[in-house]
Structure 1
Amino acid sequence: MLILGLDPGSLSFGIGILRKEKGHFAHIHSETIKLKDKDFVLRMQELWDRLEKLTAAFPVDQAAMEEGFLGKNIRSMSLLSMVRGVALAALLNRRLPLSLYAPRQIKLALTGYGNADKEQVAKMAALVLNIKGRKLGMDESDALAVAYCHGVNHR
């Protein structure tokens, strides 16, 4: 099973793809998509295009994303909701099933500690997935954690 994990952001969007076979995980691909355009709508078009290319290049079976959470900044939450909507639409366009996970559940699955910080998540992602020779970006490692959480929770 090939799992796509997504860590949405309006400027930086984490991608992580894992293969799960017989209870073992293998890192297939991960990256951080930097959305550079100043215009939000053009950034969303870029995100759509990148997700379309990614799902065409990697025949993923399932996708997972962190559940939205309520923050204090309404504008940021509104923008993030739109980003999540674009990602959801791109997945639906490919008929990919999507599962949502709470941040605490994701951290617990990967690190064993539901309140792990971003550095702990990045270190454990590299360790558990045997990623050597490069440092994982925070968005990238969060996306891998989401994919890992899905693999652990989906039988």
Structure 2
Amino acid sequence: MRVLGVDPGLTRCGLGVVDVAPNRTATLVAVGVVGSSHEMSLDARLLVIADAIDQWLDAWTPDVLAIERVFAQTNLSTVMGVAQVSGIVIAAAARRKIPVSLHTPSEVKAAVTGSGRADKAAVTTMVTKILRLSAPPKPADAADALALAIAHAWRSGPGSQVSSSEGSTAAQQLWRDAEAKAKKNKEKSGQSWR
């Protein structure tokens, strides 16, 4: 499975493509950040990002696009910029009939580190280890995009239903354990799972 992860942002939009094998081994395909200057008009900034997303989707032809779910922050202008970029990215994928999956920051952190409260440094460290990179991806937006791609593939991609822990990293096993516990708790309380 090939996943394009997108960490949306108006100033810096992280992009990361990973291939994930059925045994959940993730391999880096491409990583980068597209940026736009706050001195540009909003329409020009969004166009820069739209053009870059089109290029990445056409060049890497992902099976799915994983993007960070917009969440409330105290800075309304930041939330608006993230939401606008997210809309552009989702529309670009839809034009190509590429499925889109949204993930919260805590889901992504839990998937790659085993803790939904991990900081950016811990996420970057684990992304570097998972992808067997010689140096951490920079800036943090790039690492976050890769983490989104990995989290999506591990959660819903090849091998996501594998119960065996053979060949799994500690983070993968923690993720499976957390999912199983959440499912059990929801079943006990009478809620449906997913």
Query: Would the TM-score normalized by the shorter structure come out above 0.5?
Result: yes
1:148 aligns with 2:144: no
Task: Summarize the Cα distance change of 1:38–1:98 in structure 2 as closer, same or farther, 3 Å threshold.
Answer: same
Q: What does residue 67 of structure 2 align with?
A: 65
TM-align CA RMSD: 1.3
Percent of aligned pairs sharing the same letter: 28
1:98 aligns with 2:100: yes
Matches within 5 A, 1:6-155: 6-23=6-23, 24-36=25-37, 38-133=40-135, 135-155=137-157
Following superposition, the deviation at residue 123 of structure 1 comes to 1.0
Following superposition, the deviation at residue 62 of structure 1 comes to 0.5
Stretches of structure 2 that go unaligned for 5 or more consecutive residues are 158-194
Q: Secondary structure in 2 aligned to 1:76?
A: helix
Q: Which has the higher contact order (CA 8 A, sep 6+)?
A: 1
Deviations 1:13-66 (A, max 9, x none): 000100011221111111111223621110111111111111111111111011
Q: Which moved more, 1:30-39 or 1:3-12?
A: 30-39
Following superposition, the deviation at residue 119 of structure 1 comes to 1.0
Task: Summarize the Cα distance change of 1:45–1:129 in structure 2 as closer, same or farther, 3 Å threshold.
Answer: same
8 Å CA contact 1:126–1:136 kept in 2: the answer is: no
Query: Using the alignment, how far apart are the partners of 1:119 and 1:102 within structure 2?
Result: 18
Q: Secondary structure in 2 aligned to 1:52?
A: helix
Following superposition, the deviation at residue 88 of structure 1 comes to 1.0
Q: Which moved more, 1:36-45 or 1:98-107?
A: 36-45
Following superposition, the deviation at residue 136 of structure 1 comes to 2.7
Amino acid at match of 2:7: D
Q: Secondary structure in 2 aligned to 1:18?
A: strand
8 Å CA contact 2:137–2:143 kept in 1: the answer is: no
Question: For the pair shown, which has the larger CA radius of gyration, 1 or 2?
Answer: 2
Q: Which moved more, 1:20-29 or 1:131-140?
A: 131-140
Following superposition, the deviation at residue 135 of structure 1 comes to 4.3
Query: Using the alignment, how far apart are the partners of 1:75 and 1:68 within structure 2?
Result: 13
Following superposition, the deviation at residue 106 of structure 1 comes to 0.3
Number of aligned residue pairs: 155
Amino acid at match of 2:20: K
Following superposition, the deviation at residue 76 of structure 1 comes to 2.1
In proportion to residue count, which structure has more strand? 1
Stretches of structure 1 that go unaligned for 5 or more consecutive residues are none
8 Å CA contact 1:122–1:137 kept in 2: the answer is: no
Query: Using the alignment, how far apart are the partners of 1:144 and 1:75 within structure 2?
Result: 25
